[in-house]
Amino acid sequence: MAVVAVLSLGLLRDVILAAPGWDLAALLSGDHEEALAKAGSPDFPFRLEWTWLAIRGEAGIPLVIYIDALAAVVTAMVALASLFIHLFSIGYMHGEERYPTFFAYLQLFSAAMLAFVLAGNFFHSLLAWEVMGLMSYLLIGFLYKKKTAQQAQKKAFITTKLADLGFMLGLFWLYLLIGNFDLADLANEHTLALVGTGAAAAVGLLVFVAAMGKSAQFPLHVWLLDAMEGPTPVSAMIHAATMVAAGVYLTGRFYPLLIHGEVLGVVAWVGALTALFAAVLAPAFADVKKILAWSTVSQLGYMFLGLGVFGWAAAMFHLLAHAFFKALLFLGSGSMIHGAKTQDIFEMDRLKKYMPWTYWTFLVGALALMGIPPFAGFWSKDLILHAAEEHARFLWLVGLTAAFFTAFYTTRMIVIAFHKPAMPSPWKAAAWTQGAPWLNLGRDEVEPDPSPPEGHHPHESGAEMIAALLALA
């Protein structure tokens, strides 16, 4: 359905030019319903195989769609989050010169993620993985007239492509060992015995490097902050429904191999240190989108920590919870920027007074991010920390410290943006980080947004944008 929506933009361009977002959003709603219906069918788990580019019925590329419980739930998550992001974009991108093109790119991004989640073999996964990378390049640089957007898209593409070499090498090495591309074989004890512990460790580490690149784990996190150069709905899509979630999903799919290769310790340490590293840095920023970007890096670190301490279910639960509360937060930040005409939280003027709908919905997402009960973020994060406490006490302490900093920078962001009167920003860059550009810290490599015009008062966003926020809340 996602691909059909994109094709309709070309075939019926004159008919739907005024409202391509509605066309795409309607079809996305069908995607999540179809996924949930399939999960309840008697034929579940569902498997469909066919040969692509066959020559006289002899040779070709085998493609497989495989829907088990995890694939069904993540498919529904991607489709639902994408639906609300599309709905928000209808109002947010109104008046944009390349309005239909934006929705075509956004929908192909969703389609690539759905194809990746539903892939039943390695080659199918790799194709969808690479299309996802291409679409992220196009969307991050969508505002192509800005030099900073051009630089950001190149940085994201090069960083993730270097990491993707690990995926390619790992997959082809695995193919040489087991002789097929089928992902289902990874759970087969005979296949794991055939691979051996040493090869499983090597392949697992190669695949994990690719996951680190896509999910912005240290030291491959450097592209994610610059990716904020794309329109805010693009940031929401990357951080919630597609790109960064793909790395966690990939690691979860290769979990039997990672256990067999005894490399989960590496996954846990990378995740824990990234969670703390990003949470500590978030308060050094005044740009609302960059604060949320660091929070994404940190929350993804929690997911990898969970995977590394045998908390597979907890990590997947946090992946689902994070998708919705992070989509809500990014779309909420888009509403804030739309109304206040600035991305700097210090220049926003008591937004609670002028934008009550945005405030209350953003607060819901913030409480989930902080892990306050009864919101979903509390339960998922608590399960991860519980698994860490059982298997790695020190990493549990690291995760707990990261949770404290998460509550701190989130509260800071809400108080300054929504409750304080506007003031000159005390920093555009944190002075203590000027000597460490390789970390992409406080130094803003992007041009700061202009301050709001004098006498400007924030205003609430349009109906489509508020509807999307309420639905996610």
- Omega of the bond prior to 62 within 30 degrees of 0, cis? no
Q: What is the pLDDT of residue 76?
A: 92
Tens of pLDDT, residue by residue over 305-324, are 999 999 999 999 999 999 99
Number of domains in the chain: 2
- What SS3 string covers the chain? CHHHHHHHHHHCHHHHCCCHHHHHHHHHHHHHHHHHHHHCCCCCCEEEEEEEEEECCCEEEEEEEEECHHHHHHHHHHHHHHHHHHHHHHHHCCCCCCHHHHHHHHHHHHHHHHHHHHECEHHHHHHHHHHHHHHHHHHHCCCCCCHHHHHHHHHHHHHHHHHHHHHHHHHHHHHHHHCCCEHHHHHCHHHHHHHCHHHHHHHHHHHHHHHHHHCCCCCCCHHHHHHHHCCHHHHHHHHHHCHHHHHHHHHHHCHHHHHHCCCHHHHHHHHHHHHHHHHHHHHHCCEHHHHHHHHHHHHHHHHHHHHHCCCHHHHHHHHHHHHHHHHHHHHHHHHHHHHHCCCEHHHCCCHHHHCHHHHHHHHHHHHHHHCCCCCHHHHHHHHHHHHHHHHCHHHHHHHHHHHHHHHHHHHHHHHHHHHCCCCCCCCCCCHHHCCCHHHCCCCCCCCCCCCCCCCCCCCCCCHHHHHHHHHHC
Residues 279 and 194 in one domain: no
How far apart are alpha carbons 115 and 118 in whole angstroms?
5
Q: Which amino acid does the sequence have at 405?
A: F
CB 245 within 8 Å of CB 315: no
Residues 379 and 470 in one domain: yes
Residues 202 and 248 in one domain: yes
Structural domain for 416, as ranges:
269-473
Residues 229 and 334 in one domain: no
Residues 145 and 194 in one domain: yes
Q: What is the pLDDT of residue 12?
A: 45
Q: Exposed, middle or buried by CB within 10 Å (0-12, 13-18, 19+), for 84?
A: buried
Domain stops at, among 229, 262, 295: 262
Residues 235 and 321 in one domain: no
Q: What is the pLDDT of residue 440?
A: 46
Residues 120 and 153 in one domain: yes
Q: What is the pLDDT of residue 34?
A: 53
Tens of pLDDT, residue by residue over 403-416, are 999 999 999 999 99
Q: What is the pLDDT of residue 24?
A: 52
| pTM of the complete model | 0.84
Residues 402 and 297 in one domain: yes
Residues 192 and 115 in one domain: yes
Q: What is the pLDDT of residue 183?
A: 81
Q: What is the pLDDT of residue 292?
A: 94
Domain stops at, among 262, 286, 307: 262
Radius of gyration of the chain (CA): 22
Residues 240 and 353 in one domain: no
Mean pLDDT by 10 residues, the chain (473 residues): 48 46 51 51 72 67 85 92 90 82 91 92 89 91 87 91 92 85 79 82 92 91 88 87 88 88 90 95 92 94 95 94 92 88 87 88 94 91 93 93 95 91 63 43 43 61 81 81
Domain stops at, among 215, 246, 262: 262
Residues 331 and 461 in one domain: yes
Residue 53, φ and ψ in degrees, nearest 5: 60, 40
Residues 368 and 238 in one domain: no
